[in-house]
Structure 1
Amino acid sequence: MSQQQRAVRIANCSGAISDPGVHMYNQAKYGPVDVITGDYLAEVNLAEHAEAMARSSHPGWAGTAWDGIQQSLDLIHEKRIKVVINGGALNPKGLAEKIVETVQQKGLNLQVAYVDGDNLTSRADKILRNIRSGALHHLDGANGDVHYDDQTLAFLDHPEKMPIVCANAYLGYRAIKRGLDEGADIVICGRVADASPVIGAAAWWHGWEEDDFDALAGALVGGHLIECSTYVTGANFAGFYKYEIEDLLNLGLPIAEIDAQGHTILTKHDELNGFVTTDTVKCQFLYELQGNIYLNSDVKADLTNTRIVEQSRNRVHVSGIKGSPPPPTTKLAVFYRGGYQCEGTFNATGYATAKKWDLQEAQMRSKLQEWGLLDQFDVLDFQRVGVGAENPDCQLASTSYLRMFAQAEDASTLRKLGAAWMFNGMAHFAGMHCTLDMRTMEPKPFLGFYPATISQEELDEGVVMLTSTGSPRRIPVGPPKKTESLKQRENYETTSPVSLSQFGPTQMRPLGDVVLARSGDKGANVNIGLFVHTPEEWDWLRSLMTGDKMKELMGTDWKDWYFLERVEMPHIYAVHFVIYGALGRGVSSSRLLDGLGKGFAEFIRAVHVPMPTKFLNGE
């Protein structure tokens, strides 16, 4: 099974297009690593690149990925480090060719390859037909309890106004591994799944076969843990408040040491700032999950019995993941022109804020109704953000704001919002104030998102080996040899719940006084994982956090048409939920202020619950 005895050291250099190139350089410079991987793509990046490429104003690849390669190429050559990144975005061929030119100019001995087969935009008409006919299902379509946002299928009725601009399938590790097997030093990918570069690197290093499912699943989780930049070294961390600000500056990125069984040790370079603890690892582990089964186009990972244990300072061991054959389908991210949107914010200070917002909304809606325009909006939302402090010590502490958010098929409809506001501009409530720059009220186009599934048999996945002389050599890899249909996701309450009264006296305190958590977006859905630290706290958490309790904690944010799933991961004392539909059509078109769902966990942690006093004393 293994061509290498020791674990492979895989250092991540990016979790989003914003991560600068210096991260790749630092990962190469500050210690021994075998492979550098990087994830530059959020779902919407590809669509934005597609629009810009159509205007000939963007090369189609991530500029920060190219910057990292430029800074690091000499070190990569000197230390013989392999590089696998998805920074090729919509144009992996173009980025790979640009790297080849630089390699030749520098006289370096590096083989470059790129993975293709993910970009299906040329099939847009067929994709539309297949979605209409049901041949291409919505990602959540198999669950009859899940309902979609009202606008989810609007693009099917208006293909001329809402054309598909980008359609990319999520590829796995097989083409990456084949490129490395063929001698590639740098493999440039487009839309591969976030963890696929790590799986491909580990599979190449250890010589895994396609049916080494437990090992592949372990590497899938290892990739998941490091692919989000500094999220496992101190960023986006619910327990950050226990650290000094200096400890949280200039965080270094993580390293996954993956052994031949797929077990992972999370660590980092000693010279770089940050920290790797069981808490940072658990938070990242619970981020953007779909439940207890984590999917990749090459393997399914069962997370139920995951164990996360500290070995030593900045070294955390992850094991217990079980693998099984992948589904016959993979995710297809379809983006289309969704129409236009705009927003504006208005401030209120002090007394009777709720009545002030009632008046502002009524003024806007009544005028639009009078003009016969109210029904032309797809979305018209008035969101009350924040609560002014009682007995404030300054005006800012007494101020909150109203966010008006609107979407419509035509920009002309949205322009009437500004006119409606101006009509009532001098009839405002007491003390109304806002920015004098109203550019946010100008309509701008937005992209809608439709997550579909597509048969892996329909894809032509392959790797192209580039050479300084001669023609490129393309090697197709074909679909996975063995697949297994997806089962219905697990959804259950805890077994043998404990009476909450047995934990003794309580105080009404924020849930976050004892519980850490992480949340994120999964298309139209938001996930949240919550965990504690001791067996007794676990009995309390699993008994407290029922599905109904989560709905209660969400307050007025819970809608009856949402659907909720709940599972447990007992070895890390975690309860995990997915709330289907909460993000509307997804990040690129969500009406929510927190369209990425990242703040959801912190909101839930701030809600008061009857907290056992002994847990507070222990804290």
Structure 2
Amino acid sequence: MTLLASNYKNDPIDVLAGDWMSEGNMTVRAGTKINGQVDAYEPTFLEALEPALPYIAKYRIKVAINAGASDTKKLHEVVARMVKAKGLDLSIAWISGDEVLPHLLETQKRGDSPFENICTGERLGDWQFESMYAQAYLGGLGIAKAFERGADIVVCGRVSDASPVIGAASWWHNWKRSDLDKLANAFVAGHLSECSSYSTGGNYTGFKDLECLGWENIGYPIVEISTSGEVIVTKNKGSGGEVSVDTLTSQFLYEIQGPWYFNSDVTAILDDVSFEHISTNRVALRGIKGALPPPTTKVGITAKPIYQAEMHWFITGLDAASKARMIEHQIRALMAPHIQNFLHLSFQTIGSVPENPTNQNAATVDFRVIAQARKAEHLAPAKFVRPCIDPIMCAYPGATPHLDLRQAFPKEVFEYYVTLLPQSVISHQVHLSTDEVIDIPPPSETRTYPKNQPTQDTTAKKFDLASFGATVRAPLGTIVHARSGDKGSDCNVGFWVRHADEYTWLQNLLSTEFVKQLLADEYKGGRIERCEFPGLKAVHFLLKDHLDRGVSCTLSVDFLGKNCAEYLRARMVDVPLKFLARGRI
């Protein structure tokens, strides 16, 4: 924040918008809030804010953030004291209404809704865990109202990732709820900027091309939003990285669910999305349309904690699979008296040994043992870590356990359930520094959308793959960019290419059935939804319930779903030679 605020004369920013929330820290902060041992907001926000405050006050920069997590009022109080201590003239407001467990339980008790899990289809009444906290995703119009009433800094909890940008643009341009196209463009602008440096080259499959620009300081996106809703994305001057059609396509495809993108204020229709290169590090967003918001909003429910422990062995050289099988057999035998108390137990071999390795690290894989149970005592040392270690003298050749056993002792993890709650039952309020409280009503007009996104298993633009000429077996990622991410236990993955003929090939190659084949052992039979974004030369897939319950409690090392794309790019396909001749990604 200091970097951007202090450089106002070169980059005149009107509003600093920050997204501190994820499903990972939502559950952790929920646990913190319930046990009351420490503050349940995100402290790194204060580290970012404190040195930036003099510049924020000097240049009258507005700030909207969701770092309140599960303690928004308390964070507001801390920020107000910090501003007062510095003698600055800044008004601090905060937003409430995202904490909704009482509303949810009351609605469930009345039988008004089964509260179906939007990832798994499970009903809340059938969930095997006890709810302790629930947060709804709020829109941005409360932020807009706070700015309208003079607030300089607006502290929020679980507003959606893009809501600070929606709120800022709506306030600045005095938009109405009926300005759906404008709100939708601001919504997507918020999505493009919410993840810090992701739009300037972070988590981007073309990262090798950015080395000459500087990997160590790839910059932050700045979105320019006009009164008419037009959006241009740039970045702070003097930074490395880049803003390009490809870096923005990468961020756009991150965590979307399909052609409908929902927010409490508006639904963005993405079918015709494209990016236009204007000049160096200036790219325009095109083709976004707005539609009515849904009558519901997403709710994340955190359950009372379960417990997890894990332990690692190193396996080196030949016969890795047989060595893994041996140590698993021995550990299971020692765990047998207690194994019935485990909710989950997984043995995982992470990595593989290349042919004729040239160093020992390359020849070593990680064998991971991970278990979860309802009670910490079920994972006590005698029941988990001792059975994991005790086979050491009779195990595979070279058997070497990891000697850092901190993860082998039980820690809290939280099951997470994602459902929908009517916006009409949420008490969305703005709390001003004058102690005035303003109600933000839900949208008066909404639209109920089908449960599933539009899907098309194969392209409508059929083309014979053989017509592309001679091919060679090569990794898909040799010429195809990709990006993936998590939403609950759903995983999305989008693929895109650089040229029009490559897109025709990609459309015809990547059917739903072909993606199942690419997933190979990772495909567990779940629903897959497919759509195309021709303006981006992209094909997108939503893998329903792919991530083992989501980031808060998954047994997978891909707990954020970000490596799914990289796995699929590594899979071998028949790539036309003429595409390879253009150069690899």
Q: Assess same fold via TM > 0.5.
A: yes
* Pairing partner for 2:419 from 447, 452, 461: 452
* Pairing partner for 1:365 from 318, 324, 332: 332
* Pairing partner for 1:396 from 361, 379, 384: 361
Find the counterpart in structure 2 of residue 611 from structure 1: 575
The question of 1:76 aligning with 2:40 is answered: no
Find the counterpart in structure 2 of residue 282 from structure 1: 249
CA contact (8 A) 1:127 1:136 kept: no
Amino acid at match of 2:513: D
Find the counterpart in structure 1 of residue 283 from structure 2: 316
Whole-angstrom distance in 2 between the partners of 1:423 and 1:346: 12
CA contact (8 A) 2:132 2:304 kept: yes
The question of 1:482 aligning with 2:445 is answered: yes
Amino acid at match of 2:536: I
Counterparts of residues 351-500 of structure 1 (less than 5 Å):
351-369=318-336, 371=337, 373-415=338-380, 416-467=383-434, 472-487=435-450, 488-492=452-456, 493-500=458-465
CA contact (8 A) 2:293 2:446 kept: yes
Identity of aligned residues (%): 37
Any gaps of 5 or more consecutive residues in structure 1?
1-12, 14-21
TM-score by length of structure 1 reads 0.90
CA contact (8 A) 2:272 2:534 kept: yes
The question of 1:66 aligning with 2:46 is answered: yes
1:408-460 residue CA offsets vs partner (Å, 9 max, x unmatched): 11223323122323442311011111222222211111111001110000001
CA contact (8 A) 1:25 1:68 kept: no
CA contact (8 A) 1:385 1:403 kept: yes
Superposed CA RMSD in Å reads 2.0
1:305-349 residue CA offsets vs partner (Å, 9 max, x unmatched): 001111110001111011100000001111112411111111111
> What secondary structure, in the 3-state scheme, does the structure 1 residue paired with 2:394 have?
coil
Offset of 1:33 from its aligned partner? Answer: 0.8
Whole-angstrom distance in 1 between the partners of 2:371 and 2:128: 21
* Pairing partner for 1:94 from 74, 78, 86: 74
Amino acid at match of 1:481: S
Offset of 1:539 from its aligned partner? Answer: 0.4
Amino acid at match of 1:79: Y
Amino acid at match of 1:485: T
Offset of 1:136 from its aligned partner? Answer: 4.7
Find the counterpart in structure 2 of residue 168 from structure 1: 135
Counterparts of residues 107-126 of structure 1 (less than 5 Å):
107-122=87-102, 125-126=105-106
Find the counterpart in structure 1 of residue 527 from structure 2: 563
Whole-angstrom distance in 2 between the partners of 1:147 and 1:477: 31
Whole-angstrom distance in 1 between the partners of 2:108 and 2:561: 28
Amino acid at match of 2:46: W
Whole-angstrom distance in 2 between the partners of 1:559 and 1:420: 30
Offset of 1:139 from its aligned partner? Answer: 4.3
* Pairing partner for 2:113 from 116, 135, 140: 135
Whole-angstrom distance in 2 between the partners of 1:102 and 1:379: 45
Whole-angstrom distance in 2 between the partners of 1:572 and 1:443: 46
Q: Give the direction of change, closer, same or farther, for the CA distance of 1:29–1:391 in structure 2 (3 Å limit).
A: farther
Offset of 1:157 from its aligned partner? Answer: 4.5
> What secondary structure, in the 3-state scheme, does the structure 2 residue paired with 1:591 have?
coil
Offset of 1:153 from its aligned partner? Answer: 6.1
Whole-angstrom distance in 1 between the partners of 2:42 and 2:188: 25
Amino acid at match of 1:221: V
Tell me how many residue pairs correspond in the alignment.
Answer: 579
Q: Give the direction of change, closer, same or farther, for the CA distance of 1:128–1:156 in structure 2 (3 Å limit).
A: farther
Any gaps of 5 or more consecutive residues in structure 2?
none
The question of 1:545 aligning with 2:510 is answered: yes
> What secondary structure, in the 3-state scheme, does the structure 1 residue paired with 2:298 have?
strand
CA contact (8 A) 1:136 1:453 kept: no
> What secondary structure, in the 3-state scheme, does the structure 1 residue paired with 2:53 have?
helix
CA contact (8 A) 2:33 2:71 kept: no
1:511-537 residue CA offsets vs partner (Å, 9 max, x unmatched): 111111110001111000100111101
Find the counterpart in structure 1 of residue 263 from structure 2: 296
> What secondary structure, in the 3-state scheme, does the structure 1 residue paired with 2:552 have?
helix
Whole-angstrom distance in 1 between the partners of 2:550 and 2:556: 10
Whole-angstrom distance in 2 between the partners of 1:434 and 1:455: 51
Find the counterpart in structure 2 of residue 577 from structure 1: 541
* Pairing partner for 2:550 from 586, 596, 611: 586
Q: Which moved more, 1:178-187 or 1:606-615?
A: 178-187
Find the counterpart in structure 2 of residue 504 from structure 1: 469
The question of 1:271 aligning with 2:251 is answered: no
Offset of 1:98 from its aligned partner? Answer: 2.8
Amino acid at match of 1:578: L
CA contact (8 A) 1:28 1:76 kept: no
Amino acid at match of 2:528: L
> What secondary structure, in the 3-state scheme, does the structure 2 residue paired with 1:244 have?
helix
Offset of 1:382 from its aligned partner? Answer: 1.1
Amino acid at match of 2:155: I
1:122-152 residue CA offsets vs partner (Å, 9 max, x unmatched): 557537647xx571523427xxxx556xxx9
1:556-591 residue CA offsets vs partner (Å, 9 max, x unmatched): 01012x110000001111000010111121110111
CA contact (8 A) 1:89 1:191 kept: yes
Q: Give the direction of change, closer, same or farther, for the CA distance of 1:27–1:328 in structure 2 (3 Å limit).
A: farther
Amino acid at match of 1:476: D
Whole-angstrom distance in 2 between the partners of 1:557 and 1:358: 20
Whole-angstrom distance in 2 between the partners of 1:27 and 1:90: 32
CA contact (8 A) 2:213 2:241 kept: no
Whole-angstrom distance in 1 between the partners of 2:213 and 2:313: 35
TM-score by length of structure 2 reads 0.95
Offset of 1:245 from its aligned partner? Answer: 6.5
Offset of 1:252 from its aligned partner? Answer: 1.9
